[in-house]
């Protein structure tokens, strides 16, 4: 975002983003199939004895769901001439960003509360929430916002309202909102008393 604010002053940030985006697209993604469709997720590296490696079972996190919005924002502000030098285009960034947004949306839809977990393992036909709590993170909704602003597709408004409604219904307390302990339980597994 600093590159957008001042491309001259923060030009290195723009180039760094392009290198990181290409690397992430090529090395840090995985898919899972649900009801006959593939969904894309951003994974993470783990430090092994020989350096950084992908875990045997790719892991994704709620925080990684900012990436969809980041790719979409980049698709709208970076020019294709510069992107081509890095093997990218605004269309490839947009398409990939939308895939990530849809995957993160599905991380919510697939849970019993309709809210996504803090972290999950991506398996061929499922996602397994190994950190099943929800601590009121905004990343998925932020990326859906970018998807709507970039495409104008009202489907993203519907997704946003659906997820927002689920969050309000499961996290509202008498004096605000609280994180919940298990998004894959109908009752949310109780609150964690943190806002």
Q: Is the pLDDT of residue 38 over 90?
A: yes
pLDDT of residue 109: 96
Distance CA 8, CA 128 (A): 44
Q: Is the pLDDT of residue 54 over 80?
A: no
Distance CA 92, CA 110 (A): 27
Query: Does residue 130 contact residue 120 with C-beta atoms inside 8 Å?
Result: yes
46 among known catalytic residues: no
Helix (H, G, I), strand (E, B) or coil at 97: helix
Q: What is the mean pLDDT of the chain?
A: 93
Give percent of the chain with pLDDT exceeding 70.
100
Query: What torsion do the CA atoms of 180, 133, 123, 148 make, to the nearest 10 degrees?
Result: 70
Mean pLDDT of 84-103: 96
Task: Give the best-scoring range by mean pLDDT among 7-11, 53-57, 150-154.
Answer: 150-154
Distance CA 174, CA 195 (A): 12
Helix (H) or strand (E) holding 106: helix 90-109
58-97 CB burial, b ≥16 within 10 A, e <16: bbbbbebbbbbbbbbbbbeebeeeebeebebeeebbbebb
Q: Which of 118, 139, 142, 162 is catalytic?
A: 118
């Amino acid at each position: 975002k600093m590159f957008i604010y001042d491309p001259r002053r923060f030009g290195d940030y723009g180039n760094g983003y392009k290198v990181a985006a290409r690397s992430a697209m090529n090395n840090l993604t995985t898919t899972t199939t649900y009801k006959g469709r593939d969904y894309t997720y951003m994974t993470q590296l783990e430090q092994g004895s020989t350096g950084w490696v992908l875990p045997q079972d790719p892991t994704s996190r709620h925080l990684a769901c900012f990436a969809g919005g980041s790719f979409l924002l980049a698709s709208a502000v970076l020019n294709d001439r510069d992107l081509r030098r890095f093997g990218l285009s605004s269309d490839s960034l947009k398409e990939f960003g939308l895939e990530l947004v849809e995957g993160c949306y599905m991380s919510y839809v697939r849970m019993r509360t309709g809210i996504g977990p803090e972290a999950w393992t991506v398996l061929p036909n499922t996602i397994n929430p190994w950190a099943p709590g929800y601590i009121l993170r905004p990343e998925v909704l932020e990326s859906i916002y970018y998807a709507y602003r970039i495409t104008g597709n009202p489907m993203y408004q519907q997704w946003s309202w659906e997820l927002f409604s689920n969050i309000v219904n499961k996290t509202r307390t008498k004096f605000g909102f609280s994180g919940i302990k298990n998004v894959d339980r109908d009752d949310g597994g109780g609150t964690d008393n943190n806002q």
